[in-house]
Amino acid sequence: MRLYSLLAAAKINLYLEIMGHRRDGFHELVMVMQSVDLADRVTVRSLPSSEIRVQCDHPLVPQDATNLAHRAAALMAAKYPQAHHHHGGVEISIEKQIPVGAGLAGGSANAAAVLVGLDMLWQLGLTQGELQTLGAELGSDVPFCIGGGTAIATGRGEQLDSLPSPPNLYAVLGKYQSLSVSTPWAYGTYRQQFEATYLQGDEAHSRRRQALHSGPMVSAIAHQDSPALGKALYNDLEKVVLPAHPAVADLKAAMVAAGGLGTLMSGSGPTVFTLTTTREAAETIQEQVRDRLADPDLALWVTRFSSTGVQLTA
């Protein structure tokens, strides 16, 4: 087979706590990540030449070597030069459904799909652990995006512990289409404002990690307790993104007023989500928020928790 078509799922953060500095300049995090069924389609196709090509139907996605999906293929070619030589280059086509610069790991999901797709195209037989190690070289969210589901992510976000299946929830996602937030900006601004509160030392970080493992979010997931899960939603980055973007704070307020189980900004934003137990409740909230804010720039999606990251499709 010279072509594989994959679905690459978006993620939301049910929990994101910034613990402190890391020696590599990144932040030490404790997060709970959840895949949702909003997904991009990524097709990888062998080329007779050794070239790596990316094409995408979204105007804001670069089609050159700066695209994370292109970097994923270049990394595979560098690690497995014989397979690259033997099977040739690759054309990567990305059909975008996941909004860009949204805090939903769309770019990371695309890169994860390229790793999985090239593993199959080049018949490498890599394990999920090996793919995750490669993914961590590309970005902190890439390892999670490979397997998806529900996981605790620590370290930079690349250290994963899978969690039991959460309750079957729906997430209404809302994002102003013209607004995106730069992740380095969000973390950099957080550092400027909250550095004094950072936990110091590996031991303090490890105690906090342990606390999350036995904390309300993980307990709500383990007990399939949807109301408790809604109450345990938390994201430190809201403290910098909401004040800088009042429209996002207003969107969050509108979602809270619509009465879901709980409402949160995902990752570095600006996507905000609210959780419900049924599709009907999610669609009602979607309509209420659309009517209340009445802004054509606001896009809303009803999604469902998903147990997969990258998935082969027909």
For ligand C5P, which residue of 101, 106, 135, 157 counts as binding (CB under 6 A)?
157
Q: Radius of gyration of the chain from Cα atoms?
A: 19
Q: Of the candidates 253, 225, 231, which has an alpha carbon nearest to the alpha carbon of residue 169?
A: 225
11 is catalytic: yes
26 lines the binding site for ligand C5P (CB under 6 A): yes
Size of site (CB under 6 A) for ligand C5P: 11
141 is catalytic: yes
- Which H helix or E strand runs over 244? helix 238-244
Which CB sits closer to ligand C5P, 43 or 268?
268
Q: What is the spatial distance between Cα 5 and Cα 73, in angstroms, rounded to a whole number? A: 15
- Of 23-31, 93-101, 224-232, 254-262, the segment contacting ligand C5P by CB under 6 A is 23-31
Which single residue is written with the structure tokens 């589901």?
149
34 lines the binding site for ligand C5P (CB under 6 A): no
Residue 68 Cβ, how far from ligand C5P at the closest point, in Å? 8
Q: What is the spatial distance between Cα 46 and Cα 106, in angstroms, rounded to a whole number? A: 23
Q: Are 289 and 254 in contact (CB under 8 A)?
A: yes
Q: Are 276 and 118 in contact (CB under 8 A)?
A: no
Per-residue exposure over 217-250, b if at least 16 CB sit within 10 Å of its own CB, e if not: bbebbeeebbebbbebbbbbbbebbbeebebbbe
x/- string (CB under 6 A) for ligand C5P, residues 187-216? x-----------------------------
Q: Which two tokens stand for residue 115?
A: 């790793």
* Residue among 11, 37, 40, 119 flagged as catalytic: 11
Which CB sits closer to ligand C5P, 121 or 181?
181
For ligand C5P, which residue of 34, 140, 150, 180 counts as binding (CB under 6 A)?
140
67 lines the binding site for ligand C5P (CB under 6 A): no
When CB distances to ligand C5P are compared, the closest residue is: 140
Q: What is the spatial distance between Cα 36 and Cα 276, in angstroms, rounded to a whole number? A: 13
Report helix, strand or coil for 142: helix
* Residue among 37, 40, 141, 236 flagged as catalytic: 141
x/- string (CB under 6 A) for ligand C5P, residues 209-248? ----------------------------------------
Catalytic residue IDs = 11, 141
Residues in contact with ligand C5P by the rule CB under 6 A: 26-27, 29, 139-141, 156-157, 183-184, 187
